[in-house]
Amino acid sequence: MTERLPASAREQDDAPRVGGAAVSTAAFGAVARRLIARLRDVMAGAGDAQTRLDQIVQLIAAELHAEVCSCYLMRAGDILELFATVGLNPSAVHRTRLRVGEGLVGTVAASARPLALADAPSHPNFAYRPETGEEPFRSLAGVPLLRGGRVRGVLVIQHLRARNYSEDEMETLQTVAMVVAELASAGELVGAGEISTAGDAGVLQQRLAGIGINSGLAMGQAVLHRPRLTLSELVAEDPEAEFARFGEAVSTMHASIDVMVQQSREAVPGDTADILESYRMFARDRGWLGRIREAIAQGLTAEAAVERVQQDNRTRMAQVADPYLRARLDDLEDLTNRLLRHLSGKRSPIETALPDDVVLVARALGPAELLDYDRVRLRALVLEEGSPSSHVAIVARALDIPVVGRCAGALSRIEAGDPLIVDGDNGQVLVRPGEDLIDAAARAMATRADRRLSYQAMRDLPAVTRDAEPIQLCINAGLVIEMPQIADTGAEGIGLFRTEIPFMVRATYPDVAAQTALYSEVLEQANGAPVTFRTLDVGGDKTLPYFPAADEENPALGWRAIRIGLDRPAMLRIQLRALVRAAAGRDLRVKFPLIAEVAEFDDARRLLDRELARAAKEGIAPPSSVKVGVMFEVPSLLWQLDALLKSVDFVSVGSNDLAQYLFAADRNNPRVGSRYDPLSPAFLTVLDRLAERCRAARVPLSICGEMASRPLEAMALLGLGVRILSMTPRAVGPIKAMVRSIDSRQVGEFLKPLLSGRERSLRPKLRAFARDHGASIEDIALVR
């Protein structure tokens, strides 16, 4: 993406120009190839790096008929220094400096995006430096020098007259910038040590904060996932030979991916195979492969063309906020790295022998890249980016390894071989921990292991409180691969099956047959245990690749969940039709998400009734029973409880969203996400009143958000009278231990008088109660 401003006076059109005359795209392609070839000769020629850089800017200016060509390189402290120029005052070289973000050159560096301006002085970021003598020049085009994902400098051309730079010119300038970036990164012009971003690497222990993507605690040695290969040749001598090499590498890569998909089906069955099928489709994307071929045609080697296209992808995707689309960039990075290895003949991304306990550290990761590593040695994963809905996160959960994502600066602050402690429960990474923390982590892991054994021994025992109150413990799931967890944990069923996750890992919308097969498999593997399906809950932070995302300022409050289903009833009816068919002869439990008023539930229920009637008309065996409920997430339903409870068979509280809407606090915003405690009197009062009304109406109430997975919060819920909890599979053991250790009546008698208090949180008092009454509250956090 190139930012453009129109000329105040349209003195020239948008056609590529050589010597002031417009030329065709094909003719300009010949100019580009000639320029690349001449740059190759300069790079291979004699002279030091500064001499070659001077020759390069002269060559670019001559070939593109620019009055000015300048090269700025990044120095320590995020300073851009003019290193070479033709057209500006020679005395400005090594004198003119700009901060990143300062002036137009600094703007290009800060955004890592090209900038094309027909009237540069009119741009609000324009900064005039008198020593350069650039006041006569009107138009400007600048591109970042990118190497290894970092901005190494900026390449600029300028013209005296206002002109619009064509896409062909900008493409050529970006391709040329790759060659200049290679020279800038060699360490001859600016020493590698000066601009090192390692910063405090190598110092004493550090604590890096992120988000917990998969829970758990692990220790091991850092293995840095840096799969980028050094490109030794950027400019091709024989384009036809490069096309042949590229075609052979693509074919070999496709074959290896086919083998990997088959092996993964056998080793990690279920929906992980769907993820890898989606990955395989990316690898065959004609648009991606076609753009690489175009770059080869411009005169680049096959390797440089692959890298060139990926730089474009990064630039475009850097402006995308949607987490699903950004996660797809991880898949493309994975494929780029894989294709580069096939081109170089180096098939494995793992350069050294792995330690016995591997903590993999990466900027981002594709699902196939994770499977490249030995699963027996893999202990945890740390990502600078990442999201719970990314493909690699889903595969990691299937492998049961802790994951911390959005860990800023991990690759620059962690060195290969560093000892690490990864706390997936609290979203933190301890780098080079001291002996005390290592000992504490070892004890915590041993305690967790012992507790897991005790939970395993408790698996078949009933979840009954000391005052004989039976509690129904269910698990949350979203993939077929998670269904065995019912038996493994001793849960009573699936309290929340997130149907959107199988939609998100597919490249196309699944039809009735595909969805019916999926839901049938879920019910089959449940083996008679109840499964409650939540209908499609997308929008907000969950986007389907084949469904247009709405451009909304507040997506959590916007077009999502049941609102999409009712506005696009064909989508919802297809899903309900598949659920009805899958449940033939079996119990069907369905709940609708984000219901804000009873009328929405009535509309959704009518669509389900139509599908039940359709199935009967077509002679399809009906479900043996049908139970329909709502996800209670929107506080407005509190004022329609009488009407709601007459219509539903059950109510499920989504505590995460309910807290977000009740407190008007975005739970994904670190500044406010943890500001309000669900154990506050306000939030607990809402749940208390809801529980009372549901009991009076004899409507079962369950909690299926994060509160149900945390022993202290779950203890409070039992005190309020909640008797059905649905949680992550890992939480079943700790929650059952808590249930069997408490008297729920005593908890209620202690808690309810506190609801009228003024405290921001009742957490300290509840923790003290648990300690005084011998409640089993697992809490093994190393650092809070």
How far is 751 from 384, CA to CA, in rounded Å? Answer: 41
Q: How far apart are CA 23 and CA 312, in angstroms?
A: 25
Residues 6+ apart with CB under 8 A from 148: 185, 228
What band does 744 get if pLDDT is binned at 50, 70 and 90?
A: very high
Given a cut of 60, whether residue 186 has pLDDT beyond it is yes
Is 669 a residue whose pLDDT tops 70?
no
Question: How confident is the model at residue 326, as a pLDDT?
Answer: 59
Q: What is the pLDDT of residue 199?
A: 35
- State yes or no: pLDDT of 595 exceeds 90: yes
Cα–Cα distance, 54 to 48 (Å, whole number)? 10
The structure tokens 């309000």 sit at 676
pLDDT tens digits for range 646-657:
999 999 999 988
User: Do 336 and 279 touch, CB atoms closer than 8 A?
Assistant: no
Q: In this prediction, what percent of the chain has a pLDDT beyond 70?
A: 83
Which tens digits make up the pLDDT trace of 529-558? 999 999 988 765 566 655 665 666 776 787
Instruction: Write out pLDDT tens, residues 684-740.
Output: 999 999 999 999 999 999 999 889 989 999 999 999 999 999 998 888 999 999 999
Band of pLDDT at residue 12, cut at 50, 70 and 90: very low
- Antiparallel, parallel or unpaired: β 358-362 and 494-498: unpaired
Higher pLDDT, 261 or 723: 723
**Residue, of 750 and 514, whose pLDDT is higher:** 750
Q: Where in the chain is the domain with CATH 3.30.450.40?
A: 3-184
**CA–CA distance, 299 with 783 (Å, rounded to integer):** 54
pLDDT, one tens digit per residue, over 89-147 is 999 999 999 998 899 999 999 888 899 999 999 999 898 899 999 999 999 999 999 87
Average pLDDT across the chain, whole number: 83
| Residue 350 backbone dihedrals phi, psi, to 5 degrees | -95, 110
C-alpha 465: how far from chain center? 40
Tokens representing residue 19 in the block: 């010597």
> Under DSSP, is residue 220 helix (H, G, I), strand (E, B) or coil?
strand
Alpha helices in 698-743 (DSSP H): 711-719, 732-741
Laid out side by side, the sheet with 150-159 consists of: 3-5, 115-117, 139-147, 150-159, 68-75, 79-86, 97-99
Whether pLDDT at 450 is above 90: no
Please say if the pLDDT value at position 746 is more than 50. yes
Q: Is the dihedral of CA 429, 435, 438, 443 positive or negative?
A: negative
- The pLDDT, as a whole number, for residue 232 is 65
Q: How confident is the model at residue 400 (pLDDT cuts 50, 70, 90)?
A: confident
- Collapse the DSSP code of 539 into the 3-class scheme (helix H, G, I; strand E, B; otherwise coil) and give the result: strand
Q: Give the pLDDT of residue 278.
A: 66
Q: In the prediction, which pLDDT does 706 show?
A: 84
Q: What's the rounded mean pLDDT across residues 190-197?
A: 59
pLDDT number for residue 505: 62
Mean pLDDT in residue range 72-76: 90
* For residues 745-770, average pLDDT: 95
The closest alpha carbon to 744, from 779, 717, 763, 771, belongs to 717
Type of residue found at 478: G
How high is the pLDDT of residue 381? 94
**Predicted pLDDT of residue 538:** 76
Q: From CA 338, how far away is CA 249, in angstroms rounded? A: 10
Instruction: Tell me the pTM.
Output: 0.60
Of 272 and 385, the one with more pLDDT: 385
Which strands form 378-383's sheet, in the order they lie side by side?
A: 206-209, 428-431, 419-423, 217-224, 358-362, 378-383, 403-405, 211-214
Checking if the pLDDT of 20 tops 90, the result is no
Per-residue pLDDT, 57:
93
**Entry field: residues in the chain:** 784
- pLDDT tens digits for range 221-243: 998 886 556 666 778 888 888 89
CATH of domain 231-348: 1.10.274.10
Name the residue with higher pLDDT: 87 or 368: 87
Q: Measured between alpha carbons, how far is 314 from 295 in angstroms, rounded to an integer? A: 16
64 phi, psi to nearest 5 deg: -95, 5
Residues 716 and 712: their CA atoms lie apart, in Å, by 7
In this predicted structure, what is the pLDDT of residue 640? 95
The CA-based angle 360-497-577, given to 5 degrees, is 130
pLDDT at res. 24 = 52
Is 342 a residue of the active site?
A: no
pLDDT at 758 over 50: yes
Q: What confidence score (pLDDT) does residue 557 get?
A: 80
pLDDT in tens, 286-317: 778 888 888 888 888 888 888 888 777 767 66
| Residue 768's pLDDT band (cuts 50, 70, 90) | very high
Range with the lowest mean pLDDT among 201-205, 475-479, 506-510? 201-205
Provide the pairing of β-strand 217-224 with 419-423.
Answer: antiparallel
Residue limits of CATH 1.10.274.10 in the chain: 231-348
Q: Secondary structure of 652-687 in the HEC alphabet?
A: EECHHHHHHHHHCCCCCCCCCCCCCCCCCHHHHHHH
pLDDT at 277: 67
Q: What's the average model confidence in pLDDT over 752-767?
A: 94
Q: Euclidean distance between the first and final Cα of the chain, in Å? A: 42
- Cα–Cα–Cα angle for 187, 180, 345, rounded to 5 degrees: 80
The active-site residue out of 69, 342, 391, 474 is: 391
251 vs 312: which has the higher pLDDT:
251
Which range among 29-38, 118-127, 407-416 shows the weakest confidence by mean pLDDT?
29-38
CATH number for 3-184: choose from 3.30.410.10, 3.30.450.40, 3.40.50.11440, 2.60.40.10: 3.30.450.40
Q: How far apart are CA 11 and CA 721, in angstroms?
A: 76
Active site residue 391: yes
* 522 vs 506, more confident: 522
What pLDDT was estimated at residue 645? 97
Q: How far apart are CA 214 and CA 420, in angstroms?
A: 16
Percentage with pLDDT > 90 across the chain: 44
Which position has the token pair 């973000």? 101
